[in-house]
Structure 1
Amino acid sequence: MDVHAARVLEFSRLAERVARHARTREGRDAVLNLSPLPPASFPELPAVMRQVARFMELVGEHGPVPLAGIRSLAADLELIRAEETYLPPPTLISIAETFRGLEDVTGYAAAMDERFFPLKILFEGLRSFRPLKELIESCFDEREEMKDSASHALAEIRRQIKSTRRNLKNILEAHLHNPDYQPIIQDHLITQRNNRYVIPVKLNFRTFFSGIIHDQSRTQMTFFVEPVETIGHNNSLGILQQEEQEEKIRILKMIAGHLRAERREIVRVLEQVFVLDQVQAKALYGREIGGTSPKLLTEWPAGFSLKQARHPLLLAEKGAAAVVPVDIDFAAGIQGLVVSGANTGGKTVALKTLGLVCLMARCGLVLPVAAESRVPLFDEIMADIGDEQSISKDVSTFSGHLHHLDEILRHCNARSLVLCDELGAGTDPQEGAALAMAVMDELHERQSAFLVTTHYNKVKAYAYERPWVESVAVSFDADSLQPLYRLQYGVPGLSNALQIARLLKLKSSVIARARKYLDRDHDQVMMMAEKLEKRLLQVENKERELFRLKQEAFHLREQCREEREKLREEQEKLRLTAKQQLEKIIGRAEKEFKALLAGLEEKQRELEEGSGLAKVKTGGMRHEFADLKREVTSLLPPAPERPRKAIDLSVLAVGDRVILDGSRQEAEVEAVDRQKKLVVLRLPGSVRASVPMDRIASIAGRKKKRDAENVRVSIPAGGGSPLPTLNLIGKRVEEAREELERYLDRAVRAGMGQVEIVHGFGTGRLRQGIHEFLRQLPYVSDYHHPPSEQGGQAVTVVKLNV
């Protein structure tokens, strides 16, 4: 990476912005040292960028990976490489904290669902080292003191120390409270000197008891004496304390041994976690700027395009609502852009946006551009931006620019991007313009892509006269004297210096005098250019308004369709409810009627047996009940006829198996008369029948081997020009691609240069599938999302070669 270009493009600020999202010091340091991958690694970049984009989805759904408390342990583990070495308790407790952090990370990985399986590689092989963490935690308390339970030997030694210390203090307390010793007791307290327990007494203590003097006060009036009765106890206590220290060191060495055995594995796992932290920092930054992973180009004969691009630093600082996106388009055959227009209009921001986005792509960062962008991977990005004056080095602004231009022209090639702000500025305008044009000639010969900004009219004219350079203007509203921060292709921009001076409240008399110095020809050119710019702005506004109205109509149509569907569902629900209730009533009546008839027939038999009366006819009653049941059922509203899925009968051939409407049995096609729209079928039982083609409900199967003479090809008529908008919302990718292909074929035959595909936001799968399909079509010259007020990423505008 060119160091000067990285500095003037403020790449270090970008790295700092990403590093803010790192959770570990090592991950933060790695991001701060972020640098673009070399050209040999370009094939890896799409996968790297997709990984970051997928990680954005992961943290959006599950939150960031918990990395608190994790730090590098390499330096600590290096201290215990040799046997018999150990680490102090505070260091061990810090290591346990890192292991707790690793436990959180492995728990996070275990909770990830299978949708994020591609990210598993970042978590594979991670370990929490839980046994080591539990070993350390079992040995130390929160005050970093070793616990009695660290070993049985330590517990026993400390028990003996407590007992010996208690006996010692009892003997000393007896001396302090002995009435006979009160004349020589200087102070009623037990203290320590030379790690031995003593009491403070006066100079004449010897006449009362024997002991060893360990210290005296500054005034030499107090002696710190160990009575002879406590010497043995103090000796025992000293030996026990030495044993305690030896046992603690043994435990520390034991822990160090376990850490030493896992040293390489611990270092490997932590290095993997720091890589994970870097990917997460990129993902969190990507969410901050709303980044995408567009198509990356290693070659760009068809040009490249940054759609809806935003300056990443402005985006992170001010938010998406405050940053106006720009489209930076290098069409096929266009090698350079010459951007002109008012100061403060966004020329330099657009130039820096292109440079930073291309650097970000080489770093594997997601980009602040629309997903359908095509971003080139340049081997070198060179820039000459800003004031290069240096008084200490005796270098003027113009000299500084020349120095950097010389370096650029020495090293640029066909895989370089050159960015020059105010090319040729800082000297006589005539000579500066000539120098700028000569530099662009040289860049053209070297086949380098370039973007330059200028106020020179000659340089603007140069861009108009050469087919490999495109003139671009930054939009400016002359009425409100406000820049619009949009790029207009194919027109030069007006500098509007006097309008900007007025906006910045320069003295009005100075502006008036300046206008007098402008010649009449210049005024005419300015007026014509201003009118042209206004006309283009009006056209853009009308296009946006037209698209807005079309979007409103589309949404209203969709709303009506949804309301109709909802009404149909409600009607169906009411019909089914009424039918169920009526069926229950009829069922109960039928049950009661049958019981009544059964009772009546039973009485009939009894009468016949007793008196021989004529038989009562109940059959008529049954028929009457059945008629009444049918009459009641007919009161139900009929079930709405569902539209049958259209069948392409143009491909129907002899030998196909079909199913007729209202039937479940298959029949084989024996003949097809397309003129009369009749089909001869062989039904089950070798019965032949001639039926209309519209009676066929579905094609159950095709003949496995079809003779060439039986093949029929039918091309439907075009049916006139299709509508300029195709709605694919709600369709699956394969279904949408088939309908889109048919639609575009008709649009091309109708001579339509541009159409709009409405696919909605959704999960993005439909949009991605449509874009992948469009890239395969030879008659599609370009496609992009319109501005957000015209549908944004819910709509794709397709340009056709007609």
Structure 2
Amino acid sequence: MIYPQNFEQKIGFNQIRDLLKAKCLSTLGEERVDEMAFSDNFEEISTRLAQTTEFVRIIQEENSFPDQYFFDVRTPLKRIRVEGLYLDEQEVFDLKRSLETIRDIVRFLQQTEEDEDPDGNGTENTKSPYPALRELAGDIIVFPQIIARINGILDKFGKIKDNASAELLRIRRELSATASSISRSLNSILRNAQSEGYVDKDITPTVRDGRLVIPVAPGMKRKIRGIVHDESATGKTVFIEPAEVVEANNRIRELEGEERREIIRILTEFSAAIRPQIPAILQSYDFLAEIDFIRAKALSGIEMKGIKPAFEDAQVIDWSEAVHPLLRMSLEKHGKKVVPLDIELDAARRILLISGPNAGGKSVCLKTVGLLQYMLQCGMLVSMSESSHAGIFSHIFIDIGDEQSIEDDLSTYSSHLTNMKMMLKYCNHRSLILIDEFGGGTEPQIGGAIAEAVLKRLNNKGTFGVITTHYQNLKHFAEDHEGVVNGAMLYDRHEMRPLFQLQIGNPGSSFAVEIARKIGLPEEVIADASEIVGSEYIQSDKYLQDIVRDKRYWETKRQKIHQREKQMDAVIEKYQREIEELERSRKEILKKAKEDAEHLLKESNAKIENTIRTIKESQAEKEKTRQARQELEDFKRQVEEAEKAAAEEKIARKMEQLRQKQERKKNRKEQQKAEDAARETPKARPIMADDYVRIKGQTSVGQVLETNPRNTVVMFGLMKTNVKTERLERAEAPKPAAPVKSTFVSSETQELMHKKKLNFKQDIDVRGMRGDEAIQAVTYFIDDAVQVGISRVRILHGTGTGILRTLIRQYLATVPGVAHFQDEHVQFGGAGITVVDLK
């Protein structure tokens, strides 16, 4: 049961029907769209959904589906059930093409594919890629004999063939011969008339009333013997049929009549032949209509981003990212996005009571639930996430909008009460109710009380539903009774705008005060209203807003944490892949080294065996033996030298690493000793004027100008500073004559410079850069080279027009650290590379 009668208009399903009709190929599918109805049969709905889902795959994956000729020939077929009536040429042509389409569709859906050893028993099974549609096409007759017979009658353009019958062939041959004879006669008469000057040179024969005639000026019409058939609108031309061709034209008329009668005879004979098969043909057209309908549903599903959710034979709504399809298409036209809906109704939480501000999306939420559930039970794909679960309901009731009626003497509240009465009378545990502004339309106190009483009985019946309200007593009812749960449409209190997000678990605030303030209602009016309603209500509403805000905050936090966890998982997976790749590379390198060693060993053994064979074959001749031994010794020496060089290189590398490590350790110890020695404060005498001192923990040395027991005046460079005496320590006098050649560098800096030196590359490539970019890159490169102590570097700038090379060399000429620069050797790049020697 669907209530009320205009249910589809209220939820917008009539627009869905219009969208489906627009995607049908013929009136066959359009009629099926009109006949589409709500069903509560689980098997029937499952079959419809499976068929539509399979057709979506056909559209997305197949290019050969036959969907060209969907003609509705049912009316002509029903007409020729009467003896003597026949199909005309166009109707027969449409019948042929649509029967071919039916045949090709059935053939397409009955194709199978191999399923290699599905049970693991060594056998191969065949299966259909589209089982639901294959079952639909299982018992459809395709009428190849009728198609073959029509092909014998009609040509590829839908016209009756000359050889459709022997009589028709004779008639058309005689027609052609007679027409040729008339044409020759007319042309001869016309040439004579033109030579006599009766007719203009550019005149040609024409047709009037189906007869060939010659256009002649009125003054010359008596010059040509014949019948005047017509004259032009201006009266300046008359059309004469020469007497010589009158009989031939009469024969043409007779033959055309015979041709038409023969064609009718052929079509009547064909219609009589197929008359007994009309019921079966009409059944095949029902199949074609169903395919057109399913195709339209599939195309609409793709357009609306619809899917088939997990469908259960139970009363459940567990939807994630559900979207009102009409709203999404409307918003996308304006470049906007719709906010998806997450909603869950099950045995424990059957009725969702949604509260929140006006224009916050409560009614849209209600319509979304109603439309998607109705579409689903009509066998259509619905726009929601694939992880969603959907159930089935036997009844859907909706109470939305104003049903005020002057004719029926119904007020707004009376219409709501009528709807409540119908729901209480017919709803049960398999019903879904959708009520907007529950209890509205009358005095709030009694309206809220009646609404609560109705809600209590609906809950006791185990009904499922979505209800929107502003009444506080209903919110409290939901908190205190199992089966009913509060929900809120979220609102951004700071930006004063609705978020159109449904949150289940807490009631929502109407934000009446905030919205009134945003609209610009006078502040004294708002204050007066707050005083009338009472501070407790205002405070509770604020607490409710705070709860919603906090929940939204933590929900956002949870989503961010979830996203971070996903990112971390992705990074960990990436590193694991890289570790596996490195391990695989290491094994490949070891394998290659082992193969090289084995190859070298085999080569050595072969060399030894070859030497022994040479000695034996030469019968131990001294010279041959000595020569073979010498070759073996040379090969042995080469192998040993190669191994020794590799070992020495490895040892040298290790020694260099150890030496650098010890040197860094020694430098750190010396630095530490120097710092310890510098921190030692001489205690021989107190600090006096002209002594050199420094602040404890610092390195800058200054000279004392004057001192007293508590403070001391010290000159650090050009700056005079007043420092507490206990913060000073005696220092060595600086040596102005000798330049400072070394300075203490921290261990961290040394380590950084060491790493920088190891990673430094002596070549830089600036090809393709602009001039200023190249100069900047070279500047940093030369600075780094001087810093790490490199003596020679190379700059690859290319030849090109030479501008980059000139700019770089002009810069190098100004750098103090550059000792010399020149072109690279021609063998290694020539003028395209500049070699720079550093001081």
Q: What is the TM-score of this pair, normalised by structure 1?
A: 0.66
Could you tell me which residue of structure 2 aligns to residue 402 of structure 1?
417
Could you tell me which residue of structure 1 aligns to residue 327 of structure 2?
314
Q: Closer, same or farther in 2 for the Cα pair 1:585/1:174, shift >3 Å? A: same
Q: How does 1:14-53 map to 2 (within 5 A)?
A: 14-37=16-39, 39=40, 41-53=41-53
Q: Closer, same or farther in 2 for the Cα pair 1:183/1:435, shift >3 Å? A: same
How many Å separate the matches in 2 of 1:276 and 1:401?
42
> Does structure 2 conserve the Cα–Cα contact (< 8 Å) formed by 1:67 and 1:104?
no
1:164 alignment partner AA: T
| Deviation at residue 70 of structure 1 after TM alignment | 0.8
Post-superposition Cα deviations, 1:205-257, rounded to whole Å, max 9, x if no partner, equal 99989767777999999997766544553454344334433443344345546
Q: How does 1:199-348 map to 2 (within 5 A)?
A: 229-230=244-245, 232-253=247-268, 255-256=270-271, 260=275, 263-300=278-315, 304-318=317-331, 322-348=337-363
Could you tell me which residue of structure 2 aligns to residue 73 of structure 1?
73
Could you tell me which residue of structure 2 aligns to residue 168 of structure 1?
182
| Deviation at residue 391 of structure 1 after TM alignment | 4.3
> Residue 385 of structure 1 is aligned with which of 396, 400, 420?
400
How many Å separate the matches in 2 of 1:219 and 1:51?
67
How many Å separate the matches in 1 of 2:73 and 2:569?
61
SS in 1 for 2:441: coil
| Deviation at residue 558 of structure 1 after TM alignment | 1.4
Could you tell me which residue of structure 1 aligns to residue 98 of structure 2?
98
Could you tell me which residue of structure 2 aligns to residue 12 of structure 1?
14
| Deviation at residue 378 of structure 1 after TM alignment | 1.5
1:121 partnered with 2:135: yes
Q: Closer, same or farther in 2 for the Cα pair 1:601/1:551, shift >3 Å? A: same
Could you tell me which residue of structure 1 aligns to residue 575 of structure 2?
560
> Does structure 2 conserve the Cα–Cα contact (< 8 Å) formed by 1:199 and 1:224?
yes
1:33 alignment partner AA: E
How many Å separate the matches in 1 of 2:343 and 2:234?
89
| Deviation at residue 153 of structure 1 after TM alignment | 5.0
How many Å separate the matches in 2 of 1:454 and 1:129?
61
> Does structure 2 conserve the Cα–Cα contact (< 8 Å) formed by 1:390 and 1:396?
yes
1:406 alignment partner AA: K
How many Å separate the matches in 2 of 1:424 and 1:165?
87
| Deviation at residue 433 of structure 1 after TM alignment | 0.6
How many Å separate the matches in 2 of 1:536 and 1:194?
88
Q: What is the TM-score of this pair, normalised by structure 2?
A: 0.63
Q: Closer, same or farther in 2 for the Cα pair 1:232/1:361, shift >3 Å? A: closer
2:615 alignment partner AA: L
How many Å separate the matches in 1 of 2:302 and 2:207?
63
How many Å separate the matches in 2 of 1:548 and 1:503?
35
1:490 partnered with 2:512: no
| Deviation at residue 362 of structure 1 after TM alignment | 1.8
2:174 alignment partner AA: Q
Q: Which moved more, 1:254-263 or 1:69-78?
A: 254-263
Could you tell me which residue of structure 2 aligns to residue 653 of structure 1?
none
How many Å separate the matches in 2 of 1:391 and 1:421?
22
How many Å separate the matches in 1 of 2:151 and 2:520?
70
> Does structure 2 conserve the Cα–Cα contact (< 8 Å) formed by 1:42 and 1:298?
yes
Post-superposition Cα deviations, 1:247-269, rounded to whole Å, max 9, x if no partner, equal 43344345546655764444333
1:549 alignment partner AA: R
Q: Which moved more, 1:552-561 or 1:175-184?
A: 175-184
SS in 1 for 2:618: helix
> Does structure 1 conserve the Cα–Cα contact (< 8 Å) formed by 2:615 and 2:625?
no
> Does structure 2 conserve the Cα–Cα contact (< 8 Å) formed by 1:77 and 1:259?
no
> Does structure 2 conserve the Cα–Cα contact (< 8 Å) formed by 1:106 and 1:123?
yes
How many Å separate the matches in 2 of 1:215 and 1:539?
94
How many Å separate the matches in 1 of 2:128 and 2:53?
14
1:368 alignment partner AA: S
Post-superposition Cα deviations, 1:564-585, rounded to whole Å, max 9, x if no partner, equal 1222223333444455555555
Identity of aligned residues (%): 28
> Does structure 2 conserve the Cα–Cα contact (< 8 Å) formed by 1:305 and 1:373?
yes
Contiguous gaps of at least 5 residues in structure 2? 114-126, 647-839
Could you tell me which residue of structure 1 aligns to residue 836 of structure 2?
none
How many Å separate the matches in 2 of 1:304 and 1:210?
92
| Deviation at residue 555 of structure 1 after TM alignment | 1.8
Q: How does 1:673-684 map to 2 (within 5 A)?
A: none
Post-superposition Cα deviations, 1:577-624, rounded to whole Å, max 9, x if no partner, equal 45555555555565565445434332238x69xx9x999999xx99x9
Q: Closer, same or farther in 2 for the Cα pair 1:543/1:153, shift >3 Å? A: same
| Deviation at residue 35 of structure 1 after TM alignment | 1.3
How many Å separate the matches in 2 of 1:552 and 1:225?
93
Q: How does 1:543-582 map to 2 (within 5 A)?
A: 543-580=558-595
SS in 1 for 2:509: coil
Q: Closer, same or farther in 2 for the Cα pair 1:288/1:232, shift >3 Å? A: closer
> Does structure 1 conserve the Cα–Cα contact (< 8 Å) formed by 2:58 and 2:65?
no
Could you tell me which residue of structure 2 aligns to residue 412 of structure 1?
427
Post-superposition Cα deviations, 1:178-224, rounded to whole Å, max 9, x if no partner, equal 57996998997656677555667899999989767777999999997
Post-superposition Cα deviations, 1:670-691, rounded to whole Å, max 9, x if no partner, equal xxxxxxxxxxxxxxxxxxxxxx
Contiguous gaps of at least 5 residues in structure 1? 636-802
Q: Closer, same or farther in 2 for the Cα pair 1:332/1:241, shift >3 Å? A: closer
Post-superposition Cα deviations, 1:99-154, rounded to whole Å, max 9, x if no partner, equal 56446646754777557242433454667767766765676568765454655654
Q: Closer, same or farther in 2 for the Cα pair 1:134/1:511, shift >3 Å? A: farther
SS in 2 for 1:523: helix
Post-superposition Cα deviations, 1:691-742, rounded to whole Å, max 9, x if no partner, equal xxxxxxxxxxxxxxxxxxxxxxxxxxxxxxxxxxxxxxxxxxxxxxxxxxxx
Q: Which moved more, 1:426-435 or 1:405-414?
A: 405-414
SS in 2 for 1:329: strand
Post-superposition Cα deviations, 1:341-392, rounded to whole Å, max 9, x if no partner, equal 1112222222222222322232222333344444332211111111222345
| Deviation at residue 422 of structure 1 after TM alignment | 0.9
SS in 2 for 1:546: helix
Q: How does 1:406-555 map to 2 (within 5 A)?
A: 406-503=421-518, 511=526, 514-515=529-530, 517-555=532-570
> Does structure 2 conserve the Cα–Cα contact (< 8 Å) formed by 1:5 and 1:384?
no
RMSD in angstroms over aligned alpha carbons?
A: 4.6
Aligned residues: 622
